[in-house]
């Protein structure tokens, strides 16, 4: 079923269940947030790439307006809700400074493969350990596990876009496993190269081979 919602295009990917803090300064988006807050509705954050049509995005629930400045600017907290596909964009009107869009929600499968979740978690732990990253990995049984780690495994924004548009948790798991399987050896090779560069010019204490 198609519905119409206000949109706030951004050059970023918002995933379901992801928390997003924004500083709102443009008058049109201050109006958007004021309307969203008054009507208690969600708004859409479609991925915006200059020169390309907007196709997909994620709805956001306004959790709170944490600060309003004297000039009308504001800080807000939001929560990603559901991925959507844009059917039609409606440009702003005299009554509304911001644009809206007719959207259709994507079917969102949240049940993944248990073994794939374990594999994915192990790969993330290996990456973090090797790169000395101190970041908690979500519990394995957490719904939408792939979205919760999507920003923290070295994906490009184009890859994040691909991840967002996959319609099942199992497909997203496979996508991330393939990515990490390719990434980790590259990271290890770069780390080995870095250590070699650091050692260049240093005195080396090496045991000569016995003949």
Report domain extents, the chain: 2-105, 114-199
pLDDT in tens, 92-144: 877 889 999 999 999 888 788 899 999 999 999 999 998 888 988 988 888 88
On the question of pLDDT at 204 being above 80, the answer is: no
pLDDT in tens, 69-90: 999 999 999 999 999 999 999 9
The two three-digit tokens of residue 10, written as one number: 């951004």
Domain 114-199: state its class: mainly alpha
> Using CA atoms, how far apart are residues 168 and 163, in angstroms rounded to an integer?
10
- Report H helices in the chain: 27-39, 114-130, 145-149, 157-165, 169-199
On the question of pLDDT at 202 being above 60, the answer is: no
Categorize the per-residue pLDDT at 6 as very low, low, confident or very high, splitting at 50, 70 and 90. Answer: very high
pLDDT in tens, 172-187: 999 999 999 999 999 8
Asked whether the beta carbons of 59 and 82 are under 8 A apart, the reply is yes
Higher pLDDT, residue 56 or 138: 56
Task: Return all residues near 17 (Cβ < 8 A) that are at least 6 apart.
Answer: 79, 80, 143, 144, 147, 148
> Is CATH 2.30.130.40 what the domain over 2-105 is classified as, yes or no?
yes
């Amino acid at each position: 079923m198609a519905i119409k919602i206000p949109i706030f295009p951004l050059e970023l990917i918002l995933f379901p269940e992801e928390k997003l803090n924004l500083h709102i300064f443009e008058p049109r988006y201050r109006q958007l947030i004021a309307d969203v807050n008054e009507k208690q509705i969600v708004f859409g954050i479609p991925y915006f790439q200059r020169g390309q049509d907007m196709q997909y995005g994620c709805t956001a629930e306004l959790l709170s307006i944490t600060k309003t400045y004297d000039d009308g600017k504001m800080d807000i907290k939001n929560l990603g809700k559901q991925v959507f596909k844009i059917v039609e964009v409606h440009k702003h009107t005299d009554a509304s400074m911001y644009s809206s869009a007719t959207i259709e929600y994507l079917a969102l499968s949240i049940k993944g493969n248990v073994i794939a979740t374990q594999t994915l978690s192990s790969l993330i732990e290996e990456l973090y350990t090797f790169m000395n990253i101190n970041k908690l990995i979500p519990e394995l049984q957490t719904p939408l596990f792939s979205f919760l780690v999507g920003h923290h495994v070295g994906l490009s924004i184009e890859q994040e876009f691909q991840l967002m548009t996959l319609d099942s948790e199992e497909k997203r798991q496979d996508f991330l496993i393939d990515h990490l399987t390719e990434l980790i050896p590259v990271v290890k090779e770069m780390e080995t190269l870095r250590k070699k560069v650091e050692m260049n010019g240093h005195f080396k204490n090496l045991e000569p081979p016995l003949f």
